[in-house]
Amino acid sequence: MLFLLALFMVFMFFPYLVLPVIIFLGIGFLFLLPYVFVFNSLYNVVTIPWQILKIAFDSRVRKNHSLEHATINVLEERYGRRLQAGGLAHSNGFSLQGPDLPPPYEVMSAVKEGHFRMINGEKNLAIHPRCGTSIAAANFLFSLLFIVVLFSSHHFSILNVIAAFLLANVLANPFGRILQRFFTTYSAVDDVVIQDIYIQSSNYGFPFTIIINPNRSYFIKTYQSN
């Protein structure tokens, strides 16, 4: 703390020293940038498939993931627009958060409608284009393509990064849907029982509601019947 305070005082009284420091940090950043890209790409190539496989082997999470998507799809059908809302599936239910979410009784209505429609054959409700799986797919493809391009060309360049980024974005949507359909969702939800909906606190421990954060947060509890 004292070091930062002393550094602030030096820059305050000798502002001309700021420019050399900025130049030094900028050069250091440019020097480390290729290594950061390589490390991040290798990390994504290893960890993202592992995360997908963990979901793939848990049928409860996959079914709740399907219900989460179905709920958002139904709500977006009702409102006729894209909603700022997201969710996360668990083994005992799923959560929904976002400023566009309606009151809990309407969310629960959408949950039950999505559940009913999937049981009656509308399996496509289990897929959502803005799912986190699609984002993970884009990151994985970018990382994989970047590594392939890097090792095939034997040098790092901005053109390599741009080429990998563009190709990954073209392939991310269909690849993400494939991952959703076969690995992260399971549309056979006949044995899933919707138990209740709970309002989750969004005041982050403060004893008052934060007006500037209008997000609504719900947890929909489910269980699998025998």
Please indicate, yes or no, if residue 13 is contained in any of the structural domains: no
pLDDT bracket for residue 151 (50, 70, 90): confident
Considering only residues 33 and 5, tell me which one the structure prediction assigns the higher pLDDT. Answer: 5
Could you say which DSSP state residue 190 is in? T
Please indicate, yes or no, if residue 43 is contained in any of the structural domains: yes
% of the chain at pLDDT higher than 70: 78
User: In which domain, by residue range, is 109 found?
Assistant: 33-224
Please indicate, yes or no, if residue 12 is contained in any of the structural domains: no
pLDDT bracket for residue 210 (50, 70, 90): very low
pLDDT at 133 over 90: no
Check residue 209 and give its pLDDT.
45
Q: Which helix (H) or strand (E) holds 217?
A: strand 216-224
Check residue 187 and give its pLDDT.
93
Kindly report the CA angle at 212 between 211 and 213, in degrees rounded to 5? 90
Please indicate, yes or no, if residue 75 is contained in any of the structural domains: yes
pLDDT at 30 over 80: no
Nearest to 47 by CA among 144, 119, 189: 144
Please indicate, yes or no, if residue 174 is contained in any of the structural domains: yes
- Total of domains in the chain: 1
Where are the alpha helices (H) located in 57-96, listed in sequence order? Answer: 59-79
Dist CA 63 CA 86 (whole Å): 16
Check residue 191 and give its pLDDT.
95
Chain-centre distance for alpha carbon 3: 38
Mean pLDDT highest for which of 2-6, 118-122, 148-152, 205-209? 118-122
Please indicate, yes or no, if residue 129 is contained in any of the structural domains: yes
* Tens of pLDDT, residues 41-73: 888 888 999 999 999 999 999 999 999 999 999
Determine the average pLDDT of the residues in 155-163.
76
pLDDT at 173 over 90: no
Nearest to 43 by CA among 139, 131, 138, 133: 139
- CA dist 12 to 5, 23, 98, Å? 10, 18, 42
Determine the average pLDDT of the residues in 202-223.
68
